[in-house]
C-alpha cells in the first residue's frame, strides 16, 4: 500500500515537472514576429471593410498579382515619355527674367486644399469587381485588400494607393508632362519626408500638375519649389493620423514599382519631414 502511494506521488510530481518544462519551453521559444506582425486593427470586425480582411493573399479575391488589368485603364496615357515641347511651363506670377520664356508662364495659382468632412466607406473589393470613383482624385473610398509596396511607380492605380492613404501614408501625384525640375523637387519632398509614400503619374490638369494626398484631403499645386513650406506643413498635420496608421508595413502589390521607399528616420515614420524641423506643424487650414 505504502509502495503504491509513493509511486503515485512520484508519478504526479514527475508529470507536473514535465508539464512545467513544456510550458516554459513554449514561452522561451515563442516566435518573435517583430516587424512582420500586423497590429490588431480589426477589433472592430471586418464589417467596415465589407467582410474582406486586409493584407490576406487570396487567389480567389486579391493576391496583388493576378487580374490587374481591371484597375489599369488609365495606365497607357500615364506611362509615356513626354516630349520637351509638351512639358508644362512653370508659373512665375510675372516675376523673374524668364517670365516669357517657353519654360515659364506669367499666371500662377495659390495651393488648393480640399478636405472631405466624411470619408467614403473603405470597403475592400476583390478583383472580380471594378471600382469606380465619383471624384476624379479620390482620397477615400473602396479599394483593394492588398496595398502597395511604398515607393515610386511608373503607374499605380487609386484602387491600390487609397489603401495606403488609409494607413496614414501620403500619395504624390504628378501630370506626366510636369516640368522636370519641379518634378525632381516634388520627388525629393516625398522621399525625404516619409517612407510611407507612393509617387505616381496621374491624370491631373496642366494648371495644377501636382497633388499631395492624405486620407480625405488633397493639396493641389501649380509648382512645387515655392510651396515647400506649405507641403511640409500639410504632411506634418495630415499624415499618420488615421485609424489604421499603426500599420506601417509594405503591402504585397508591386506591379510597375520603380524604386522602393527607403526609411526616413525609422520605418514607422515617427517624425514626418525630419529635415524640415524649422517648419512647425501648425494646424493646417
Residue-range domain boundaries for the chain:
68-78+111-260
What is the per-residue pLDDT for 84? 86
When pLDDT is averaged across residues 190-208 and rounded to a whole number, the result is 96
Q: Which three cell numbers stand for residue 110?
A: 495659390
What is the per-residue pLDDT for 51? 84
DSSP string for residues in the chain: -HHHHHHHHHHHHHHHHHHHHHHHHHHHT----GGGSPP---TT-SGGGTTPPTT--BTTTB-SSSSGGGG-TTHHHHSSPPPGGGSPPEE-TT-STTTTSTTEES-----EEEE-SSPPP--B--TTS----SSSS-SSS-B-SSPBPSEEES---HHHHHHHHHTT-EEEEE-TT--HHHHHHHHHHHHHH-SSEEEEE----SSS-EEEEETTEEEEES-SGGGHHHHHHHHHHHSS-STTTT--S--SB-TTEEEEPPPBSBTT-SSSSGGGTTS--PPP-
Return all residues near 256 (Cβ < 8 A) that are at least 6 apart.
75, 79, 153, 154, 155, 156
Mean pLDDT of the chain: 82
Q: Which three cell numbers stand for residue 126?
A: 476583390
In the chain, the percentage of residues whose pLDDT exceeds 90 is: 66
pLDDT tier, 46 (very low <50, low <70, confident <90, very high otherwise) = low
107/201: higher pLDDT? 201
When pLDDT is averaged across residues 11-38 and rounded to a whole number, the result is 34
Question: Looking at the predicted structure, is the pLDDT value of residue 259 above 70?
Answer: yes
| Ranges 97-101, 145-149, 196-200, 203-207: which has the least confidence | 97-101
pLDDT tier, 74 (very low <50, low <70, confident <90, very high otherwise) = confident
| Ranges 31-40, 179-188, 270-279: which has the least confidence | 31-40
When pLDDT is averaged across residues 29-56 and rounded to a whole number, the result is 52
pLDDT tier, 284 (very low <50, low <70, confident <90, very high otherwise) = low
Q: What pLDDT, in 10s, does the model give residues 221-253? A: 999 999 999 999 999 999 999 999 999 999 999
What is the per-residue pLDDT for 27? 28
| Ranges 117-121, 242-246, 261-265, 280-284: which has the least confidence | 280-284
181/96: higher pLDDT? 181
Question: Looking at the predicted structure, is the pLDDT value of residue 4 above 60?
Answer: no
CA 230, CA 240: separation in Å to the nearest integer? Answer: 17
What is the per-residue pLDDT for 278? 81
CA 70, CA 68: separation in Å to the nearest integer? Answer: 5
Nearest 5°: phi and psi at 94? 85, 0
42/147: higher pLDDT? 147
Return all residues near 164 (Cβ < 8 A) that are at least 6 apart.
147, 148, 150, 171, 196, 198, 251
> Which CA distances in Å does 219 have to 47, 68, 160, 230?
30, 28, 19, 9
Q: What pLDDT, in 10s, does the model give residues 129-173? A: 999 999 999 999 999 999 999 999 999 999 999 999 999 999 999
What is the per-residue pLDDT for 97? 40
> Cβ distance 187 to 199 under 8 Å?
yes
What is the per-residue pLDDT for 107? 65
pLDDT tier, 21 (very low <50, low <70, confident <90, very high otherwise) = very low
Pick from 214, 211, 206, 253: nearest CA to 91: 206
Amino acid at each position: 500500500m505504502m509502495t503504491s502511494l509513493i509511486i503515485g506521488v512520484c508519478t504526479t510530481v514527475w508529470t507536473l515537472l514535465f508539464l512545467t518544462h513544456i510550458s516554459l519551453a513554449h514561452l522561451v521559444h515563442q516566435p518573435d514576429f517583430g516587424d512582420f506582425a500586423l497590429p490588431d486593427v480589426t477589433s472592430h470586425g471586418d464589417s467596415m471593410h465589407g467582410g474582406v480582411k486586409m493584407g490576406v493573399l487570396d487567389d480567389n479575391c486579391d493576391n496583388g498579382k493576378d487580374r490587374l488589368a481591371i484597375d489599369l485603364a488609365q495606365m497607357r496615357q500615364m506611362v509615356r515619355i513626354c516630349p520637351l515641347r509638351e512639358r508644362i511651363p512653370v508659373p512665375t506670377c510675372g516675376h523673374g527674367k524668364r517670365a516669357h520664356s517657353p519654360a515659364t508662364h506669367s499666371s500662377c495659382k495659390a495651393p488648393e486644399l480640399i478636405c472631405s468632412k466624411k470619408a467614403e466607406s473603405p470597403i475592400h473589393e476583390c478583383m472580380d469587381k471594378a471600382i469606380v470613383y465619383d471624384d476624379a482624385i479620390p482620397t477615400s473610398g473602396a479599394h483593394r485588400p492588398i496595398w502597395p509596396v511604398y515607393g515610386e511607380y511608373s503607374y499605380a492605380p487609386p484602387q491600390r494607393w487609397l489603401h495606403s492613404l488609409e494607413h496614414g501614408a501620403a500619395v504624390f501625384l504628378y501630370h506626366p508632362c510636369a516640368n522636370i525640375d519641379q518634378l525632381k523637387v516634388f520627388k525629393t519632398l516625398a522621399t525625404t519626408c516619409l517612407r510611407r509614400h507612393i509617387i505616381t503619374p496621374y491624370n491631373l490638369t496642366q494648371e495644377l500638375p501636382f497633388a499631395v494626398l492624405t486620407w480625405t484631403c488633397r493639396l493641389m499645386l501649380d509648382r512645387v519649389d515655392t510651396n515647400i513650406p506649405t507641403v511640409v506643413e500639410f504632411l506634418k498635420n495630415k499624415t499618420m493620423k488615421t485609424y489604421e496608421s499603426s500599420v506601417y508595413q509594405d503591402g504585397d502589390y508591386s506591379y510597375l514599382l520603380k524604386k522602393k521607399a527607403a526609411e526616413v528616420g525609422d520605418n514607422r515614420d515617427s517624425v514626418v519631414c525630419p529635415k524640415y524641423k524649422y517648419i512647425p506643424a501648425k494646424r493646417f487650414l
